[in-house]
Amino acid sequence: MSDWKKRLNIVYSTNPDYHYQQEENEGEETRPKERQLLRISLDKRNRKGKAVTLITGFIGSDDHLQELGRLLKTKCGVGGSAKEGEIIIQGDHREKVLDILQKEGYAKSRFI
């Protein structure tokens, strides 16, 4: 990565003592499975009437979220996405998702 990409909030400074702000890459630490409070719900809003299973409340890195989303999509045999702390599974798979999450160790998962 080039030096200019690390500089934030400033284009150029003539001050020789000025220190550029560096981007902090401290991703959010993923909670252990036992401490994750995942909420499972059925959502039809803004989806042209199609139902999706929505899993919210995940606290952790995007990589772990993507991994969990991939596992759920594979086990349910459907499509979906995982981003911004939410996992979307196409169709109404609430019970199946709850069973999968509990078997994987997410004991605090529940319906809302």
- Domains, the chain, in order of start with CATH, read 27-111 (3.30.780.10)
Question: Rounded to 5 degrees, what are φ and ψ at 54?
Answer: -110, 125
Lowest mean pLDDT across 11-25, 42-56, 93-107? 11-25
| 42: pLDDT strictly greater than 60 | yes
| 25: pLDDT strictly greater than 60 | no
Q: What is the mean pLDDT of residues 76-87?
A: 94
Going by pLDDT thresholds of 50, 70 and 90, the confidence category of residue 6 is low
Q: What is the pLDDT of residue 46?
A: 86
Task: Report the C-alpha gap between 102 and 75 in whole angstroms.
Answer: 13
Dihedral in degrees, nearest 10, Cα atoms 71, 91, 65, 1 = 110
Q: Count of CB atoms within 10 A of residue 62's CB?
A: 15
| 1: pLDDT strictly greater than 50 | no
Q: What's the predicted TM-score (pTM) here?
A: 0.74
Q: What is the pLDDT of residue 27?
A: 54
- Sequence-ordered list of residues with C-beta below 8 angstroms from that of 64, at least 6 positions apart, any chain: 30, 58
